[in-house]
Amino acid sequence: MATLADIAKRAGVSVATASRVINNRGYLSAQTKAKVLAAMKELNYQPNNLARSLHGKQTHLVGVIVPTIANPFFAELVSKIERALFAIGDKMILCNANYNLEKERNYLRMLIANQVDGIISGGHNLGIEEYQQSGLPIVTFDRHLADNVPIVSCNNYQGMQLATRRLIADGCTAIHFLGNQHQKGNPTDQRLSAYQDTVRQAGMESRVHSVAFSDSASLKKAMIEDILKSERADGFVCTDDLTAILLLNEAHTLGIRVPEDLKVVGFDGTELVRTYHPELTTVVQPIDDIAQLLVHLLQQRVQDPNCQFSKLYYQLPVSLVRRQTA
Amino acid sequence: MATLADIAKRAGVSVATASRVINNRGYLSAQTKAKVLAAMKELNYQPNNLARSLHGKQTHLVGVIVPTIANPFFAELVSKIERALFAIGDKMILCNANYNLEKERNYLRMLIANQVDGIISGGHNLGIEEYQQSGLPIVTFDRHLADNVPIVSCNNYQGMQLATRRLIADGCTAIHFLGNQHQKGNPTDQRLSAYQDTVRQAGMESRVHSVAFSDSASLKKAMIEDILKSERADGFVCTDDLTAILLLNEAHTLGIRVPEDLKVVGFDGTELVRTYHPELTTVVQPIDDIAQLLVHLLQQRVQDPNCQFSKLYYQLPVSLVRRQTA
């Protein structure tokens, strides 16, 4: 098994420098970083294995990677994961990846180097090959990272189908889709498919407005204002509640009456949004169940790295909460 | 220096059992826990010191204790602390204490046992003597934990004075206070004092409605409904934005017009609330500056545990953002 000294030698740097690259600490030139990372890859270096075998025990630390807890959905998910981990005596290292590929990669490298027992990832940056090479137990939320990595999701298709059918039942004839329209092979892609299938089955045309999850709120706001001014929609399904709230605020500003002239359904249904925006009809994800299943699956892999699950893709049921906006 | 074996011997238990108590892992009787904790206290056991001297280095892990990141204010604060820690190569162990004294105490014990470099605490459970005994560098947000522990706060007095003066300038004559009215020796106590001083100086009577930060939203909602039905207020200063939003929602339900019949000012001013509740006039805490100062002070103590600060109580300036509710 390759050691840190092997990496340093191969890269032509000191052991201290190699360690600093792995731990992302101190100033390092791009060239030095690249050399060390190439050497790590060539030698398939897994820094945790040695330390782990030396210590011969679990660290009871779990890395949790999300885009950002400044988003209430991830704040609630992380808070429930924290509770589930605490109940089994584990602690969480929180990593906000911030839609930043390099930050997610750095965190991943640090988690591997610092001997966490495993990783729960809901990061939005795909194509990070370190996930495949980490040698650590990993489970993901809503993301396809690698073939052997279990995924936990809500039933995204069912959710958007419920939302679209609600608007059809309410008599809407021009139902538009607002939000993420990415199709990158993730479970959340199904939200768009469900919308498209459902309006087509009802004999309507689909109309998709792309607002990326990572766009700033002020950019989203400007785009929504344009959409409301130029389109003749009488219903919107949104891929998340915050986008739905921006839409409601803009409609209010423009004097469009909800639900009379425009009906809106959100997606996520956090406790926060349901409490402080009691008017919003939305699809509620079972966040607590998702958190508990993530922790449970990870725990099984930590205890037996070779354990095989009966399935690798878990879809938990959602519900639609009817309020005033639809 | 006492070792784990000394603790086990004094408590009359095995070393494995003593370790499990310290790490809060596995089932343990209350009696066993009490014996081990008493032995730890008698021998002033600080589990991290030994491990630290063995390893001879920092762990680059920092424990962050808050009530819960399900509250957007703490989510935003933690997210900014995480960013500041990441910038210096440190990682965060996130601890939601959930207004639960025992959970906070357990976390604190685990953080000490697991050799974090230091702790940033914004927990709401006071009187935890382990904070004094931890032997770790600690800084707090908004909480007085011990005489030598630096506190970072916004200027709470200035904030509530600005809010109250805004309502006076708007012509309000019956300004009520809604929120936490605790007086436990914390910086946040000043919000009540500032309100009381300011209305008195304007020749008005003060009227305080106590809604605890830890009350559930549905309880707060019921209390606010009662207050709005039974009181003749024309202005409210609230100790946090979420309470202000509940108040606005209840006023809307009861047909009370804002700002015509009732004016409202919140407190905290997270990006989330300013974006999704653009109507709310509120006192904005400098959350990013608070996070950076917390990390900076902690870092100084980690590098030199005996370093003395020029002061131990830092109050950062706030601002009032005028929108539609006042």
CATH number for the domain spanning B304: value is: 3.40.50.2300
In a domain, A51, yes or no: no
Strand-strand pairing, A151-154 and A138-141: parallel
Q: Based on the fold, state whether residues B93 and B175 are members of the same structural domain.
A: no
Report the C-alpha gap between B25 and A324 in whole angstroms: 47
Q: Which two tokens stand for residue B181?
A: 């009215």
Taking CB atoms and an 8 Å cutoff, what residues of chain B touch A272? 70, 72
Q: Based on the fold, state whether residues B69 and B121 are members of the same structural domain.
A: yes
Of A155, A144, A93, A147, whose CA–CA distance to A320 is shortest?
A155
Minimal Cβ distance to A94: which of B82, B245, B276: B82
Report the C-alpha gap between A39 and A106 in whole angstroms: 16
Report the C-alpha gap between B113 and A308 in whole angstroms: 33
Q: Which domain holds residue B249?
A: 156-286
Q: Based on the fold, state whether residues B163 and B267 are members of the same structural domain.
A: yes
Q: Based on the fold, state whether residues B114 and B160 are members of the same structural domain.
A: no
List pLDDT tens digits, range B247-273: 999 999 999 999 999 999 999 999 999
Q: Based on the fold, state whether residues B147 and B120 are members of the same structural domain.
A: yes
Whether pLDDT at B59 is above 90: no
Q: Which of A74, A86, A102 to mutate to test the interface with B (most CBs of B within 10 A)?
A: A86
Report the C-alpha gap between B16 and B19 in whole angstroms: 5
Which residues is A264 bridged to in the sheet? A236
Provide the residue type at A191 as one letter. R
Note the pLDDT of residue B125. Answer: 72
List pLDDT tens digits, range B215-239: 888 899 999 999 999 999 999 999 9
Q: State the total domains in chain A.
A: 2
> A88 to chain B: nearest residue by CA?
B25
Minimal Cβ distance to B72: which of A72, A86, A114: A72
Taking CB atoms and an 8 Å cutoff, what residues of chain B touch A114? 60-61, 91
In a domain, B208, yes or no: yes
Q: How far is B211 from chain A (nearest CA, A)?
A: 16
Note the pLDDT of residue B220. Answer: 93
In a domain, B274, yes or no: yes
Q: Based on the fold, state whether residues B162 and B277 are members of the same structural domain.
A: yes
As a whole number, the mean pLDDT across chain B is 89
Q: Based on the fold, state whether residues B160 and B250 are members of the same structural domain.
A: yes
Taking CB atoms and an 8 Å cutoff, what residues of chain B touch A225? none
A-to-B residue pairs, Cβ atoms closer than 8 angstroms:
100
In a domain, A144, yes or no: no
CB neighbour list of residue B75: distance below 8 Å, 6 or more residues apart: A69, A70, A72, A75, B69, B272
Looking at residue A188, the DSSP 8-state letter turns out to be G
Of B209, B220, B225, whose CA–CA distance to B174 is shortest?
B209
Cα→Cα distances A121→A307, B81, B219, B242, Å: 19, 20, 35, 30
Question: A135's torsion region: left (phi>0), alpha (psi -120 to 50) or beta?
Answer: left
Residues 128..187 of A with a Cβ closer than 8 Å to B: which?
Answer: none
CB-CB contact of B294 with B288 (8 Å): no
Q: Based on the fold, state whether residues B134 and B109 are members of the same structural domain.
A: yes
Contact B70 A94 (CB under 8 A): no
Q: Which of B65, B74, B79, B248 to mutate to test the interface with A (most CBs of A within 10 A)?
A: B79
Q: Based on the fold, state whether residues B267 and B228 are members of the same structural domain.
A: yes
Where residue B132 falls among pLDDT bands split at 50, 70, 90? confident
Q: Based on the fold, state whether residues B165 and B266 are members of the same structural domain.
A: yes
Residues 236..295 of A with a Cβ closer than 8 Å to B: which?
Answer: 242, 245-246, 249, 271-272, 275-276, 278
Number of Cβ within a 10 Å radius of residue B289: 15
Q: Based on the fold, state whether residues B185 and B242 are members of the same structural domain.
A: yes
Residue A271 burial (CB < 10 Å; 0-12/13-18/19+)?
A: middle
Taking CB atoms and an 8 Å cutoff, what residues of chain A touch B75? 69-70, 72, 75
Report the C-alpha gap between A241 and A237 in whole angstroms: 10
Q: Based on the fold, state whether residues B215 and B232 are members of the same structural domain.
A: yes
Contact A78 B69 (CB under 8 A): yes
In a domain, A321, yes or no: no
| Whether complex ipTM tops 0.90 | no
Taking CB atoms and an 8 Å cutoff, what residues of chain B touch A218? 275
Consecutive 10-residue averages of pLDDT for chain A (326 residues): 80 84 74 84 61 58 95 97 95 92 89 87 76 85 86 97 98 95 84 97 96 85 96 96 97 97 98 96 98 97 86 95 95
Note the pLDDT of residue B1. Answer: 58
